[in-house]
Amino acid sequence: MSFGGCVLAMQGNECVAIATDHRLGCGSNPGQRIAGDFKKVFKVGPRMFLGLTGFLADVNTVWDRLQYRQNLYEIKESCEMTPEAFTTMLSNLLYEHRFGPYHVQAVVAALDPLALRPYICSVDLIGAPTKKDSFVFCGSCDKQLCGMCETLWTPNLDPEQLFLTMSQTLTHAFDRNITCGWGATVFVLDKDKIMERVIDVRKD
């Protein structure tokens, strides 16, 4: 079953971006829209975001359990969680339920809290991580996103160029897939700030 929606992350020159659409579809009929303001990207830390797509109840459950485990980790270790540690925790949580998996896919986008290095990684529903230095994505329009990312992404993009590349990629991918859309939110992280912008895309 597909519930529509997607998450995309791209890496730039000392910056990283993560974006998602706002649409939630019906699992048995992905073309039917349930909501047009569904939140799929969550702020994990000062410079770390998590994107989750899939079944609404599982998205909320996974996010709640990750927050619980993250709080325990930071209390015990007395330090901010690194992107690598958070991805490992997410991977372990999903792998624990591999025989009855949560119907979610995840993307982590962050700047390392010490070195401020860009970090992006995707995790499938049984916890297998895929770390890249270019772009990662998940969701129902993954094939369309893959083609557009390979066409538009180039290395060493600055924050403004990264935002424009993300926006164009999402807009063109949504034009080719009916299960995504209803607006999109793009977050761009660099060493000085976090920029959040909403873009207009197809609404049908």
* Domain ranges for the chain: 6-199
pTM for this entry: 0.91
Q: Check: CATH 3.60.20.10 for 6-199?
A: yes
What is the chain's pLDDT, residue by residue, as a tens digit (204 residues)?
Answer: 467 788 999 999 999 999 999 887 665 565 566 666 778 999 999 999 999 998 888 999 999 999 999 999 999 999 999 999 999 999 999 999 999 999 999 999 999 988 889 999 999 999 999 999 999 999 888 888 898 999 999 999 999 999 999 999 999 888 887 778 788 999 999 988 999 999 887 776
Contacts 24+ apart (CB under 8 A), 193-202: 194/47, 195/159, 195/163, 197/163, 199/167, 199/170, 199/171, 201/21, 201/170, 201/171, 201/174, 202/174, 202/175
DSSP state of 179: T
